[in-house]
Chain A
Amino acid sequence: MDVTASRVSLVSCHSCSLLSEVHGPLEHIHARCPRCGAALHLRKPNSLARTWALLLAAVIFYIPANVLPIMKVVSFGKAQSDTIMSGVIYFIESGSWYLALLIFFASVVVPVLKIIVLSYLLISVQRRSHWRPADRTRLYRITEAVGRWSMVDVYVVTLMVALVELGALATIEAGPGAVFFSAVVVTTMFAAMSFDPRLIWDAMESQHDRP
């Protein structure tokens, strides 16, 4: 049987990794790590609820993020709006397919995958799935690490807006899609941060515990 910290009434500080003894249910105690002063939690507080809420928000933001234009190019009075997808298509058409792939992956695939993976993880925890916990943890790790790279598109827009200011010749303006997209990235990052992967293992153990 695996000895986890919680089993032996030890709490690991999420900040400094110090193990502290805990007596009694943690939910009613506002414990602080003796070394670093961080709040001690057995598991991330309200992990499932928070993660679901944030994921939902991310999904809600995701639709305008892709529908609304993230960038508008105004040249000689003519305006042309670009969404994330049309930016990808532009790269394909102009021949830089590797960039198209990159943008597609970072701005389309990653957020979607993040949402899907986190949803799956949440469901798997709630259903107390036993499916490959190590792999799920690894999945979680990858999801958390990769999430920030979706911000690439937002930074591209920022730079375009900053550089292309040539008066009537060409001007670029940011669009509402960019705001929603950054909201998607931020909320998915928070969602991943609020998910406690230990719950995966907890789900496994309780089954074992059951006589």
Chain B
Amino acid sequence: MTDHDIERPTLEDLPNPVVKKKRQFSIVWLIPLVAALIGAWLAYKTISEKGPTITITFENAEGLEAGKTKIKYKDVEIGEVDTIRLSKDLSHVILTAKLVKDAEQYLSENTRFWVVRARVTASQITGIGTLFSGAYIGIDPGKPGKPARAFKGLEIPPIVTTETAGRLFVLRADQLGSLDVGVPVYYRQIKVGQVVAYELAKDSQAVNVKIFVNAPHHDLVRENTRFWNAGGVDLSLSASGLKVNTESLMSVLLGGVAFETPVNLEPGEIAKEGHLFKLYDNREQSYQKIYLEKRYFVLFFNESVRGLSPGAPVDFRGIKIGQVVDISLQFESEKTSFQIPVLIEVEPERIEIVGKRPAPSDKLLAGFVERGLRGQLKTGNLLTGQLFVQLDFYPNAPRQEITYAGRYPVIPTVPTPLQAASETLAKFLDRLDKLPLEQTVTELRQGVKALNETITVTQELVSRLGTEVAPQAKATLEQAEKTLASIERLTSSDAPASQDLQQALREFTEAARSIRVLTDYLQQHPDSIIFGKGNER
């Protein structure tokens, strides 16, 4: 190795890529410091902007994708689905979703979620845009309530959401009929709302249909407003001809509900949210007063109920208060007799209360029965022989206490008028039957015998009379003759009295003769009364 063989390196100045100026070393540390600050700030921002994480359950995840499906409110994205997994029992899917921070304030237990997919129903077509953009989850914040983080998603989107102004009412109908979700509600043939849901009533006796009436029309619904099923075509044939009533073409096809506050009644209070109404089958029916409260009673009749049928009215002093519901024939095994229980339905609302309203109770009914409340069958129609049940107070009825047949109170009955008469006759005959006739005949025979004896005695008496009584009688008769002769002398023609008497008699006889001539003449010549005697003589 020789020193001179080793070369010196050539020097070149090359720019330093990192720092241009010569500085103290601490400057360089600014860089990581700045980086750390940026990092801390970003981390803080992320955490503070972190919105709530919620879980929603649905029946299936059709159209939903983890990390992709958005949650939108009024078409503004407010969250995203994070994960989708099956529940442990595989019955539904559980989504977790992250929402923006602002969403926290309106997440309450009333918040509802549903999946917006393309949906085609008879009344509307929605969500077509989702065919391209993918399904998303809609949210209705609902009324403020307790904050919640776990939700059960709706399978069907709600028809109305909380922000829609209006009011919800419930209609009670016997059958659902042509009603369905989305069916319109009309007022004077203008759509003012729609059916939002329906369900079987709790007692399974009716269907509860929930309708939503939009603002401002919701104030039209009063407490006495009548709702009827306006779907289809309402035909009525009457003396004035055929009448066709429809609300709209849509209601003919889809069905509809219409309402009206009857003009003849004073408009009542504005109905509150959730007020229950009865849904009538058609407009006419809605004007009949129908009562909701019904109380049932049983009446037992021992007579023929031919002519009584379910639906026959139940009257109280001529005013209908209910109807017959059921009639059946029972064999009472203990008494080995037959009885006919008749179930009647009384609508207490038909009776107007004056004064303090008494609490309807069994005691009240018992009191009525004690006071003589009885039921009676009466002929409603002489021609058809239809019967109806009349309730009334019969103070003279034998006192009875109220009893129960099963769960129904029994109102005692009194028999019908015809039956009353036949009963009386029967009673009479009965009494007659009870009379001691044999005894009477025997007594009668004895009486006749006594009479015979009396007659015999009388005959004897008469014969005795001729023999004993007769000479005395003759004497009396001679006396009488003498008296008579004296009277005759007095009244002979020579006596002055008798001469006057004769004179009077003669004039009288002449008068009578001329009257006789006159009448003869009149008989022959009737017109002489008017014209007088003429030249006839």
Q: Provide 8 A-B residue pairs closer than 8 Å at the C-beta atoms, listed in order of the A residue.
A: A1-B5, A3-B1, A3-B5, A3-B6, A3-B7, A8-B1, A167-B134, A169-B132
Chain A positions 1-47 with a Cβ under 8 Å from a chain B Cβ:
1, 3, 8
Chain B positions 132-146 with a Cβ under 8 Å from a chain A Cβ:
132, 134
Sort chain B's interface into a size bin.
Answer: under 10
* A interface residues with partner B (beta carbon < 8 Å): 1, 3, 8, 167, 169
Chain B positions 118-134 with a Cβ under 8 Å from a chain A Cβ:
132, 134
- Cβ-closest chain A residue relative to B5: A3
CA–CA, A3 to B5, complex, Å? Answer: 6
CB distance from B293 to the nearest CB of A (A): 59
CA–CA, A169 to B7, complex, Å? Answer: 68
CA–CA, A1 to B134, complex, Å? Answer: 77
CB distance from A143 to the nearest CB of B (A): 21
- Which B residues are CB-close (under 8 A) to A1? 5
- Which A residues are CB-close (under 8 A) to B7? 3
CA–CA, A25 to B1, complex, Å? Answer: 19
Contact with A along B205-240 (1 / 0, CB 8 A): 000000000000000000000000000000000000
* B interface residues with partner A (beta carbon < 8 Å): 1, 5-7, 132, 134
- Which B residues are CB-close (under 8 A) to A167? 134
CA–CA, A3 to B8, complex, Å? Answer: 12
CB distance from B133 to the nearest CB of A (A): 9
- Cβ-closest chain B residue relative to A3: B5
CB distance from A178 to the nearest CB of B (A): 24
CA–CA, A26 to B389, complex, Å? Answer: 130
CB distance from A6 to the nearest CB of B (A): 13
CA–CA, A155 to B7, complex, Å? Answer: 45
- Which A residues are CB-close (under 8 A) to B5? 1, 3
- Which A residues are CB-close (under 8 A) to B1? 3, 8
CA–CA, A169 to B6, complex, Å? Answer: 70
- Which B residues are CB-close (under 8 A) to A169? 132
Q: Apart from A1-B5, A3-B6, A3-B7, what are 5 other A-B pairs with CB-CB below 8 Å?
A: A3-B1, A3-B5, A8-B1, A167-B134, A169-B132
CA–CA, A84 to B207, complex, Å? Answer: 69
CA–CA, A169 to B133, complex, Å? Answer: 9
CA–CA, A170 to B6, complex, Å? Answer: 66
CA–CA, A8 to B6, complex, Å? Answer: 11
CB distance from A172 to the nearest CB of B (A): 16
CA–CA, A156 to B6, complex, Å? Answer: 49
- Which B residues are CB-close (under 8 A) to A8? 1
CA–CA, A29 to B132, complex, Å? Answer: 70
- Which A residues are CB-close (under 8 A) to B6? 3
- Cβ-closest chain B residue relative to A167: B134
CA–CA, A23 to B1, complex, Å? Answer: 15
